[in-house]
Amino acid sequence: MRIPFIKYNHQKHLDELPKIEQRASDYHILYDPKTYRLTLLDLIQNAEKRIYIIALYLERDEAGRELLEALYQTKIEKPQLDIKIFVDWHRAQRGRIGEKSGESNAHYYHAMRQKYPNVDIPIFGVPINRREVLGVLHLKGSIIDDTVLYTGASINNVYLHKLENYRYDRYHIITNKQLADSMVNYINDYFLTSSATQRLDSGEHKSRKQIKSDIKELRHQLMSANYGYQGDANNNQLSVTPIVGVAKNNALNKIIHHLINITQEKATFCTPYFNLPNIIMRDIIRLLRKGRQVELIIGDKVANDFYIPEDKPFNISGGLPYLYEINLRNFIERLQHYVDKGQLIIRLWQDGTNSYHLKGIWIDNEWILITGNNLNPRAWRLDLENGILLHDPKHELQQPLEKELDTIREKTTLITHFQQIQASQFYPKQVHKLIKHLSRIRIDRIIKRLL
């Protein structure tokens, strides 16, 4: 059978990617945030040579303090350890909404440095753009010795399920020296050599204006930066491929596009926000027209981290979950005939007051992308994103991968008709008024590109 030319191009691109050989016995998937937190702390305690923690933010709450205290104690016991922490420069220097401006995570980092004056654990802030709204450090994957802990979770109480509520994510533990080295080398080569990268645990910080040109130079470098490694696996072996990118035409965006278009049977997507870039929307519709099956697992609006309960003070960010829900309802209504045929499967995740933060793509039980990319316009154009593409041609990891998806689906509701999604006229009065106003002045389109 002759393979259509356009399909061949997508497959050829993936086949030619350099891949790192991966042993199935060294690849583990965790299924809940509390287990991930305990595993992270255990690996920190038993580290022998290096600990690189990378997250959007490390919060000054119980979970953040627990992790930072564990790092300091480990460094005291093993002073030879190379320990570094990297967070977004902008996010670390502002407090939460409603808090005093002086109460930032950076102030906490400085207090910890003063508490342990003879122990040096640098905490670096990395600015991806001049303003937070124009791009953040959304890089994922902490490295402890030769193990990569890949999750979309940042470090705070809800992401690590330290207290009552949790934010659900993916948690992959991959032991692979070449993979770990490539991710550490990227950080050392681009973050630590840049004048834009600043220590946040010092008492004084440079202003955005002072490092404006340095930020511009760093972003320019990152636009052409890749993970450096020597591929040692063929297309018949279990393998991993690290991918990184920032701005519209980056390597990760291209891989996602190619990945979707090689689907022969089924593509499954997880995203917390239904706000897909136009290219992914077109790719999905193309799959449906070809007779492929598409499953979308999305967070319900009440599982969105921007959701504000009706009994709480409302602000403009609280309108975002409703904007995303309107997108979803319109999408299902447009493609209802594919839902009726069982080709398009829509699942909404909800578990009480807990929130949903999963991202990723599964293609034909052979290609699996773990990523922090939200599959939205912001991730596509502004933030520094990465991912690890898992190729499992012999289905060596089929059981844990299926368990991961089954666990995700446990808290979902199957949507069989667009009318199951609440119509906007039934939204709370203040939400309905906000959305109507935003739509009238067309600023809702801008908001969905930036948040």
Last residue of one domain, picked from the residues 222, 251, 270:
222
Mean pLDDT by 10 residues, the chain (451 residues): 57 96 98 98 98 97 98 98 98 69 85 96 98 96 98 98 98 98 98 98 91 97 96 97 95 98 98 95 98 98 93 87 95 98 98 97 97 96 98 98 98 98 91 79 59 60
Statement to judge: residues 99 and 194 lie in one domain:
yes
pLDDT at 205: 87
pLDDT at 5: 45
CA–CA distance, 252 with 446 (Å, rounded to integer)? 23
- Cα separations in angstroms, 303 against 61, 167, 201, 221: 21, 9, 33, 36
pLDDT at 435: 81
* Number of domains comprising the chain: 2
pLDDT at 445: 63
SS3 51: strand
Any idea which residue has 């032991």 for tokens? Answer: 175
| In a domain? residue 405 | yes
End-to-end CA distance of the chain: 45
| In a domain? residue 3 | no
Statement to judge: residues 216 and 338 lie in one domain:
no
pLDDT at 447: 61
pLDDT at 444: 56
390 and 367 Cβ atoms separated by less than 8 Å: yes
Instruction: Say how far residue 117 (Cα) sits from the centre of its chain.
Output: 34
Statement to judge: residues 398 and 318 lie in one domain:
yes
Enzyme catalytic residues? 138, 169, 357, 385
Domain that holds residue 94: 23-222
SS3 112: helix
CATH of the domain at 107: 3.30.870.10
410 and 418 Cβ atoms separated by less than 8 Å: no
Statement to judge: residues 303 and 194 lie in one domain:
no
Statement to judge: residues 199 and 277 lie in one domain:
no
CB atoms within 10 A of CB 9: 13
Q: Which two tokens stand for residue 201?
A: 């645990």
Statement to judge: residues 87 and 207 lie in one domain:
yes
pLDDT at 3: 46
| In a domain? residue 285 | yes
Contacts of residue 219, Cβ cutoff 8 Å, sequence gap at least 6: 128, 129, 135, 246
CB atoms within 10 A of CB 70: 16
| In a domain? residue 232 | no
pTM beyond 0.85, yes or no: yes
Statement to judge: residues 186 and 65 lie in one domain:
yes
162 and 37 Cβ atoms separated by less than 8 Å: yes
| In a domain? residue 395 | yes
CA–CA distance, 136 with 134 (Å, rounded to integer)? 7
Angle at 295 between CA 293 and CA 296, to 5 degrees: 150
Q: Which helix (H) or strand (E) holds 423?
A: none
Statement to judge: residues 218 and 247 lie in one domain:
no
Q: Which two tokens stand for residue 383?
A: 């933030």
Statement to judge: residues 213 and 256 lie in one domain:
no
pLDDT at 441: 57
